[in-house]
Amino acid sequence: MTDLSRADLKLLCELQRDGRITNLALAERVGMSPSPCLRHVRRLEDDGIITGYTAVIDRKRVGLGILAYVEVKVPQTPNTSIIERFKEAVLNEPSIVSCVITAGQFDFLLKVLAPDMDAYSELAQRVLLKLPGVRDMRTTFALDVIKDSTALPLGLE
């Protein structure tokens, strides 16, 4: 882990709140002058702590009404090519917006978006069940989202 100064943490907190903030406004908010502020931000980017900037989009407003969490089990074999093929297929499927390896009964947890239940059903049969090595799958549908943040708890909030 990189040692982060209090100034770095303040910058990260502000950038998590508003990634489009100008350098001048950012410097004001964290109590720095603009040149050192920009240097800090560039260093955070160069060090890979800031990995990118993005827009947060309301999925429902763009027609993605179904949010599903899909637990997937794959065979545990010494042959790692199945897992690698599974990972590659997940990376190439736009409807799968997140994938994590888990401990417990299932091996992977996928976050999947679809326009509606019919589209999800087709996706499940055409894509998800046919991902390399899938032995078992369980889907949980989100009825409502209470909290869905991209902000990391950096301890300054």
Q: How many residues does the chain have?
A: 157
Same domain, 73 and 39: no
Same domain, 66 and 132: yes
The range of the structural domain enclosing residue 33 comes to 6-46
> What's the pLDDT score for residue 156?
79
Give me the DSSP letters along 69-112: EEEEE----S-THHHHHHHHHHHT-TTEEEEEE-SSS-SEEEEE
Identify whether the C-beta of residue 146 lies closer than 8 Å to the C-beta of residue 105.
no
> What's the pLDDT score for residue 24?
98
Same domain, 31 and 81: no
64: DSSP letter: -
The count of domains in the chain is: 2
Helix (H) or strand (E) holding 67: strand 66-73
Same domain, 136 and 65: yes
> What's the pLDDT score for residue 130?
97
Q: Is residue 75 part of a domain?
A: yes
Q: Is residue 147 part of a domain?
A: no
Q: How far is residue 109's CA from residue 98's CA, in Å, rounded to a whole number? A: 8
> What's the pLDDT score for residue 142?
98
Report the mean per-residue pLDDT for the chain: 95
Identify whether the C-beta of residue 12 lies closer than 8 Å to the C-beta of residue 154.
yes
Which band of pLDDT confidence, cut at 50, 70 and 90, is reported for residue 32? very high
Same domain, 39 and 12: yes
Residue 31 sits in a domain whose CATH number is 1.10.10.10
Residue 88 has φ and ψ, to the nearest 5°, of -65, -40
Two tokens, residue 16: 């998590």
> What's the pLDDT score for residue 2?
67
Same domain, 73 and 136: yes
Same domain, 76 and 130: yes
Residue 124 sits in a domain whose CATH number is 3.30.70.920
Mean pLDDT of 66-86: 89
Identify whether the C-beta of residue 95 lies closer than 8 Å to the C-beta of residue 114.
yes
Q: Is 80 exceeded by the pLDDT of residue 126? A: yes
